[in-house]
Chains A and B, each alone.
Chain A
Amino acid sequence: MKVKYYCKKFIAMLLTLLAVSFFVFAAFEIIPGDPATSILGTNATKESVQALREEMGLNAPFLSRYFSWVLSCCKGDFGISYSYHIPVREMIADKLPITLTMTVLAMLMTMIVSVLLGVFLAKHTRSVWDKCGYVVNQIAMAIPAFFLGILFTYLFGLILKWFTPGGYISYQKNFVGFLGYLIMPSIAIAIPKCAMSVKLLRSSILTEAGKDYVRTAYSRGNSTSQVLYRHVLKNAMIPVITFWGMALADMSAGSIVVEQVFNIPGLGRILLSSISNRDYPVVEAVIVLIAFLVVITNFLVDLLYRKMDHRMQDGEDLK
């Protein structure tokens, strides 16, 4: 039953989001500091903190706070930021495009470059190209995006002056400039992932090339490239797509560090600052949003996967 399958997926998704939000709530119960002290800063005294907590409704029991939050979320209301006094929804709507654009750029680069390179290397196995490619690939896989960011800043920013480090341009002001600025960070994120998918694709193509159906394809008079593009590539892409799904989820959740290096005010920055400001409504919304993105990505990959590989049985999980 297709409908039943999607229902099941949907419920699982909701459960995941609930669990995530519960964890966030629980996390803030545990870590020291609270919004009241954060707001009062050095004016804080025990009494004033208590008074403010009372005013903000933080003294209500944990579960009742949690449930009322979940309820208002269901109505699409994520509350008001404690630090900025503006609706959390607006704040996120502002930041989401930044992180999303960066992720999508990085993902596009990863996909395009890795397919081109992967196919190229697979075509030229055991050539000098392949060997050089292998070495470069291994190294690229080992460089943390963080270090790459620093290297780029130094090389392209300070020495070659191709871009202004930290000179982030807001997308509302200048969209082209914005995209231009995001290119470097996107490359920094993309390179390790790209290297991994090149490797995966290359070996996957070679594995597929050894399969019987390839011989069948040759027996019909296909040339090597025809076999590669008409037959092998689609099959070889299946494991790569799974990897891409994970990579995408990884990127959207793990943009924090790269945003920090390149001074990009995206979701990661908001998350970080609101964690340290104990801005509960924002943290909760951002984390649930990221979880949502992760879950949605998984779901989309799942769909794509099914489309490509009809052997997939409903109800089976991939990854």
Chain B
Amino acid sequence: MEEILKVEKLNVSFAQSLKKNRKQVLTDVSLSMKKGEILGLAGESGSGKTTIAKAILGMIPIDQGTITCNARTPQMVFQDPYSSLNPAKTVSWILQEPLRMKTKETAAGRVEKVKSVLHQIGLEENLMNRKPSELSGGQRQRICIGTALMSEPELLIADEPVSALDVTIQAQVLQLLKSIHEKKQLAILFISHDLRTMYQFCDRIVILRNGQIVEEGKPSTLYASPKEEYTRLLLQSAGIR
């Protein structure tokens, strides 16, 4: 299978206020994804997961390394469901925006598409004319996923897409992602700190610590015999070991 994403020796640092030196956030991160693969990215808070995602999509400048992304219209579901939807627009407008950008769909056609997507992500049609501020966190996060899916991407970067959802809906959303993954060969970079969910969802998991990759492998092997102490600790706190 061809590679859809290749990151080599990625280094990212941020300028720090009040201090002279820059804060090194990612050090020599290399990873690759194949078409249609679900890659899990786990690690404790502040380990640099979101930074990798943003670097891949070119939202932050990188210091060193190469990023090759062969995917058509890569999309991202942002971690913070509160700031990733435009507060001034309605749900329907937000969901239509990718269509306006990429296709020549008529207004009516767009609305139809919006309705079907809403259905897919398990939301009612009557949410269409609401503003994001009138939605619950879970609903917002699902709208984010919906917007990302609208562009029919080949690669989806999902930054903790289900953390704000309760378990039943979590399962539903993951199911949705999985089915699209299967139908359209969608590759997903799944960022989470929930090792339980990842076990079932991912084809491969990368463990990140302090901006460095400490371990990677298939979930089953990784969970069964973690090589690194840190991985073990993570598994332990998740109550798996």
Interface of A with B (CB < 8 Å)?
A: 1-2, 313-315
Contacts and interface: CB of A to CB of B under 8 A. Distances in A.
A159 B19 CA distance: 64
Interface string B18-29: 111000000000
Contacts, number: 8
Interface in B130-166: none
A313 to B, nearest CB: 5
B31 to A, nearest CB: 31
A303 B216 CA distance: 48
Contacts of B168: none
Nearest to A316: B17
A295 to B, nearest CB: 23
A1 B21 CA distance: 10
Chain B facing A: main interface SS: loop
B222 to A, nearest CB: 38
A2 B19 CA distance: 9
Given A313-B17, A314-B17, 6 more contacts: A1-B18, A1-B19, A1-B20, A2-B18, A314-B18, A315-B17
A89 to B, nearest CB: 39
Nearest to A312: B17
A37 to B, nearest CB: 55
8 contacts: A1-B18, A1-B19, A1-B20, A2-B18, A313-B17, A314-B17, A314-B18, A315-B17
Nearest to B19: A1
A314 B19 CA distance: 11
Nearest to A315: B17
A106 to B, nearest CB: 36
A232 to B, nearest CB: 21
A17 to B, nearest CB: 27
A285 to B, nearest CB: 37
Nearest to B15: A315
A159 B147 CA distance: 67
Identify the 3 closest CB pairs spanning chains A and B, nearest first: A314-B17, A313-B17, A314-B18
Nearest to A313: B17
A175 B17 CA distance: 48
A2 B18 CA distance: 6
Contacts of A313: 17
Interface in B1-33: 17-20
A72 to B, nearest CB: 39
Interface in B187-236: none
B186 to A, nearest CB: 37
A268 B18 CA distance: 41
Nearest to A2: B18
Contacts of B17: 313-315
A315 B19 CA distance: 13
Could you say which of A1, A314, A315 has the most chain B C-beta atoms within 10 Å of its C-beta?
A1
A86 to B, nearest CB: 48
A313 B17 CA distance: 7
B15 to A, nearest CB: 9
A314 B20 CA distance: 13
Contacts of A314: 17-18
A161 B25 CA distance: 71
Pick from B18, B19, B20 the residue with the most CB of A within 10 Å.
B18
B217 to A, nearest CB: 40
Contacts of B19: 1
B175 to A, nearest CB: 32
A319 B20 CA distance: 27
Nearest to B20: A1
A315 B15 CA distance: 12
B190 to A, nearest CB: 30
Contacts of A2: 18
A314 B15 CA distance: 12
A314 B17 CA distance: 6
A313 B14 CA distance: 14
A315 B16 CA distance: 11
Contacts of B18: 1-2, 314
Contacts of A1: 18-20
A23 B182 CA distance: 66
B19 to A, nearest CB: 8
Nearest to A314: B17
A279 B218 CA distance: 82
A128 B86 CA distance: 36
Nearest to A4: B20
A95 B159 CA distance: 62
A154 B80 CA distance: 58
A1 B16 CA distance: 9
